[in-house]
Copies of this chain bind each other. A is one copy, B any other.
Amino acid sequence: MERKQESGFKEKVYDIIFEADTPWGKFFDVSLLIIILLSVLVVMLETVGPIQERYQNLFFVLEWVFTIIFTIEYILRLYCVYKPMKYATSFFGIVDLLAILPTYLSLFIYGTHYLVVIRALRLLRVFRIFKLGHFIKESKIITDALKASRAKITVFLFSVLLLVVIIGSIMYLIEGGQPESGFSSIPRSVYWAIVTLTTVGYGDIAPQTEIGQFFAAVVMIMGYAIIAVPTGIVSAEMVQSARAEALNTHCCQHCSREGHDNDAKFCKYCGAELRWAMEDETLPS
Q: Which residues of A contact B (CB under 8 A)?
A: 40, 43-45, 47-49, 113-114, 117, 120-121, 123-124, 126-127, 130, 134-135, 138-139, 141-142, 145-146, 151-157, 159-162, 165-166, 169-170, 172-173, 176-177, 184-188, 190-191, 194-196, 198-204, 206, 210, 213-214, 216-217, 220-221, 223-225, 227-243, 246, 251, 256-273, 277-278, 281, 283
Task: State the 5 A-B residue pairs at the shortest beta-carbon distance, nearest first.
Answer: A232-B234, A236-B238, A200-B201, A264-B268, A202-B203
A216 partner residues in chain B, CB cutoff 8 A: 191
A257 partner residues in chain B, CB cutoff 8 A: 263, 265
C-alpha gap A243/B242 in the complex (Å): 12
Residue from B227, B237, B270 in contact with A224 in the complex, judged by beta carbons closer than 8 Å: B227
C-alpha gap A121/B277 in the complex (Å): 53
C-alpha gap A121/B163 in the complex (Å): 10
Please determine whether B238 and A233 come into contact, CB atoms closer than 8 angstroms.
yes
C-alpha gap A10/B40 in the complex (Å): 57
C-alpha gap A113/B175 in the complex (Å): 12
Interface of A is mostly: helix
How many protomers of this protein does the assembly include? 4
Please determine whether B231 and A232 come into contact, CB atoms closer than 8 angstroms.
yes
Q: Can you list 17 contacts pairing A with B, beta carbon distance less than 8 Å?
A: A44-B185, A123-B162, A135-B154, A142-B155, A145-B232, A195-B217, A198-B223, A200-B223, A202-B206, A224-B227, A224-B230, A228-B230, A235-B236, A235-B239, A257-B263, A266-B266, A266-B267
Please determine whether B225 and A230 come into contact, CB atoms closer than 8 angstroms.
yes
A sample of 8 more A-B contacts (CB under 8 A), given A47-B187, A240-B242, A240-B246, is: A47-B185, A113-B177, A135-B151, A135-B154, A138-B151, A200-B201, A200-B220, A265-B270
Please determine whether A258 and B263 come into contact, CB atoms closer than 8 angstroms.
yes
Task: Name A200's closest neighbour in chain B (CB-CB).
Answer: B201
Known contacts A134-B151, A151-B135, A269-B264; A220/B206 CB under 8 A: no
